[in-house]
Structure 1
Amino acid sequence: MALSIWEALAVFAAGVGAGTINTIVGSGTLITFPVLLATGLPPITANVSNALGLVPGSVSGAIGYRAELRGQTGRVLRLGVTALLGGLAGAVLLLALPSDAFDTIVPVLIALALILIILQPRLAKAVQRRREANGTEPRPNGGPVLHTGLFLASAYGGYFGAAQGILYLSLMGLLLDDGLQRLNAVKNILGAVVNGVAAVFFLFVADFDWTAVLLIAVGSAIGGQLGAGIGRKLKPAVLRGFIVVVGTVAIVQLLLR
């Protein structure tokens, strides 16, 4: 499908915005997906094109957060395997289920994730007090509960992906004893893994628009660097507030679709 110059500029700008917001918190799909639909692409084609195009943005954002990734290689590898399997499952579901299959449950999931984000400092302190009372140590990789949650969040990410980063941050913030910025760096790696495995799958089995993919890819790569520059400077409380605002907007937009 041929895009006009104005449509191409809109898709590129949406890619920049999505790459920026994905690196800071997530929900970039809520910028790019409506723009692709507005150009006339069918929903599934738009979704697949979007997933392919956002891969460079995820990689760019992860590179921008490389300082916060130091010392987390083992964690990233373990959680990355879970994310890869979940992302592949979600990509398969995209082609097997109706396009509106998650419309009801996703806003609820995001709302629960936002509640966890807001309560995370208090919950973390409560968990720490309980550990001290019981003489136990936190699991460095979150244990089976975190892996199960990340698998399900990654399956959703491979399926559609809006606010997937918020789900990751809420799960890791609750179950891992680490700073929000370091967890955000891991989130960017997991996003890159999910988008990447979904993209490879879609290359062989789904229809997509190469022009849209390339425009979003270039834009999101630029946005990834912008997002890393902004996100790494935010204090944890400010970053948490930004996550809540973006997540609330995501819920409203999903309910209005």
Structure 2
Amino acid sequence: MSPASLAFLVIAGFVSGGVNAVAGGGSLIVFPALLAVGFPPLTANVTNSVAQWPGYVGVVAGTQQELPGQGRRLVLTGVVSAVGSAVGCLLLLVLPGAVFDAVVPVLVLLASALLALQPSIRRWVGAPAEGGPDRNAVLLPAMFLAGVYGGYFGGALGVILVATLALCTHDRLVRLNATKGVLSLIVATVTVVIFAVGAPVVWTAVAVLAPMTLLGGYVGARLARRLSENVLRWSVVVLGVAVGGYLLLT
């Protein structure tokens, strides 16, 4: 890669980590960045998935004060999302590349739509009241499917997770956002292990992106309440729609 491409990926990695912490959808920044520097879609996807892992570590580190009292929820949802992630990774590796090339534009556009609808979803579910039991009969199957999505593609996975948690639990959104960070880290850990063995990961790109997603995730988590979530979210939405449209036409 050229020095300009490396610098471009450094910026994309940092911004991605910050966006994941504040609004979710940061992987929709790194994925098109990798496409822009010449990576094929499948290679860009698996490299992006591996490079996002440190960013989720940063998010968890920045939100850990909201995790006490969520032990049972984290264990149950963590197990099913990990299993789902493994299934999604295996589907990505065993299905023909043409399937991914056909599906990924739809997934990018779907993820962008979910990110755009995030505020509406929050309004629809209302402000959850604390203390009620989680609706695990719905929550756990939904977390499994979210894990499958995260293992296969993963763009805007955080949006899917926090929306599902808000619908199926009774807790403050700031605590659910912390739970989302842990679940995202679990899904990312499974993808790193599987893709490191059987996928075309470009490790030089990971070496550039990973520390920047970590730094961006931590900074974003610490500054989440001071930044304009709307500006970040809509910037990612516009980028995602542009990338999805480009992939559909090429």
* TM-score of the two chains, using structure 1 as the length reference: 0.83
* Counterpart residue number, 2:83: 85
Change (3 A) 1:219 1:106: closer
- CA distance, structure 2, for counterparts of residue 220 and residue 163 of structure 1: 15
Residue type of the alignment partner of 1:64: G
The reply to whether residue 158 of structure 1 matches residue 148 of structure 2 is no
- CA distance, structure 1, for counterparts of residue 61 and residue 113 of structure 2: 29
* Counterpart residue number, 2:100: 99
CA offsets, 1:138-191, max 9 Å, x none?
A: 423x31211111111121111111111111111111111111111110111111
Deviates more, 1:34-43 or 1:51-60: 34-43
- CA distance, structure 1, for counterparts of residue 239 and residue 150 of structure 2: 14
* Counterpart residue number, 1:133: none
- CA distance, structure 1, for counterparts of residue 58 and residue 233 of structure 2: 24
Structure 2: stretches of 5+ with no match in the other structure = none
Structure 1: stretches of 5+ with no match in the other structure = 129-136
- CA distance, structure 2, for counterparts of residue 157 and residue 233 of structure 1: 28
- CA distance, structure 1, for counterparts of residue 153 and residue 160 of structure 2: 13
- CA distance, structure 2, for counterparts of residue 104 and residue 45 of structure 1: 18
- CA distance, structure 1, for counterparts of residue 235 and residue 161 of structure 2: 14
* Counterpart residue number, 2:12: 14
Q: CA RMSD in A?
A: 2.5
Residue type of the alignment partner of 2:69: G
CA offsets, 1:91-135, max 9 Å, x none?
A: 11212332132533663466467557414345447x97xxxxxxx
Contact 2:146 2:157 in 1 (8 A): yes
Map 1:1-257 onto structure 2 (within 5 A): 3-97=1-95, 98-100=99-101, 101-104=103-106, 107-108=109-110, 111=113, 115=117, 117-124=119-126, 138-140=132-134, 142-232=135-225, 245=234, 248-249=237-238, 252-253=241-242, 254-257=244-247
- CA distance, structure 2, for counterparts of residue 111 and residue 74 of structure 1: 31
CA offsets, 1:25-73, max 9 Å, x none?
A: 2211111111112222222122111111111111111111011112212
Q: Percent identity?
A: 34
Compare CA radii of gyration and give the structure with the larger one. 1
Residue type of the alignment partner of 1:227: G
- CA distance, structure 1, for counterparts of residue 22 and residue 31 of structure 2: 18
- CA distance, structure 2, for counterparts of residue 79 and residue 250 of structure 1: 30
- CA distance, structure 2, for counterparts of residue 103 and residue 39 of structure 1: 18
Change (3 A) 1:248 1:179: same
* TM-score of the two chains, using structure 2 as the length reference: 0.85
- CA distance, structure 1, for counterparts of residue 45 and residue 111 of structure 2: 20
Shift of 1:248: 4.0
Residue type of the alignment partner of 1:11: L
* Counterpart residue number, 1:134: none
Shift of 1:82: 1.3
Residue type of the alignment partner of 2:238: V
